[in-house]
Copies of this chain bind each other. A is one copy, B any other.
Amino acid sequence: MKMAAGKAAHQRRCLEALQRKLGHQFGDVDLLIRALTHRSASTERNNERLEYLGDAVLGYVTAAHLHQALAKAPESALTLARAALVKRATLAEVARSLDLGVYLIFGVGELRSGAWRRDSILANALEAVIGAVHEDGGVEAARALVMRLFDDRLEDSAAAAAKDAKSALQEFTQARTVSLPEYRTVQEVGPRHQPCFTVSCEVVQLGLKARADGASRKEAEMRAAAAVLSQIEAGDGPG
């Protein structure tokens, strides 16, 4: 909410409530205020730099967690699990669970247009808050915040990634009663002791298709399925 000058006590109470929800008490509360300031309120002192930092911190913390939690998963599963965690819609959900929109500081025009409800603005502000905690308390404070905020979602995405991509894609299509994924070997090259397969995976009714390579047909199929799932996660499909 936009704070008029002189309402300092109200602002302080608001920020205290948010810090309790975050589980992080700021040494420098100006960092939190900066993280909550949309560029419509100030072209100079807004949250864009902190968003840049928070995006990198979030990418790192989730990658490191998944790398450890999924000790047996191939790189493709880790990539997929992280993409699901850090996509805009997930970040906006987490931001809503904190009522973050209520605390944001906008210019008059943006405020009237209902900007505090928009996914992109909420997602960016959440990243800025993560960046602010990093600046205030260092990388371990930021890691603890991300683990608290993403808690169940980290476990869910890890569990989903642990399931193989072909099964996950098959379940997805069955749940929506569309045609099953079709796999086709496009190419097989390389010497016999080190072949390379190229496989396509297509879900006709969803208009989704991807290709991938692998050292075995099964591996190439897994990767192609993972690529189609990424398209679904990214919102290319109706999922």
Contacts and interface: CB of A to CB of B under 8 A. Distances in A.
Interface of A: 39-40, 43, 48-49, 51-53, 55-57, 59-60, 62-64, 67, 73-75, 78-79, 107-110, 131, 134-135, 139, 190-191, 193-194, 215-216, 219
Contact of A49 (B49, B52, B67, B135): B67
B49 A194 contact: no
Given A59-B59, A191-B109, A215-B43, A51 B64 contact: no
B59 A56 contact: yes
A75 B49 CA distance: 5
Contacts of A134: 64
Given A43-B216, A57-B60, 18 more contacts: A43-B219, A51-B75, A52-B75, A53-B63, A53-B64, A53-B67, A56-B64, A59-B59, A64-B139, A67-B131, A67-B135, A107-B193, A107-B194, A108-B194, A109-B191, A109-B193, A109-B194, A139-B139
Given A59-B59, A109-B190, A191-B109, A67 B40 contact: no
| Chain A interface, DSSP helix/strand/loop, else mixed | helix
Contact of A48 (B40, B55, B75, B193): B75
20 contacts: A43-B219, A49-B74, A49-B75, A49-B78, A52-B67, A52-B78, A52-B79, A53-B64, A56-B60, A56-B62, A56-B64, A57-B60, A57-B63, A57-B64, A59-B59, A59-B60, A109-B190, A109-B191, A109-B194, A110-B194
A74 B48 contact: yes
A50 to B, nearest CB: 8
Which 8 pairs show the lowest CB-CB distances between chains A and B? A56-B63, A60-B60, A48-B75, A43-B215, A56-B60, A53-B67, A52-B75, A109-B194
Nearest to A44: B74
Contacts of A56: 59-60, 62-64
A63 B130 CA distance: 13
Nearest to A109: B194
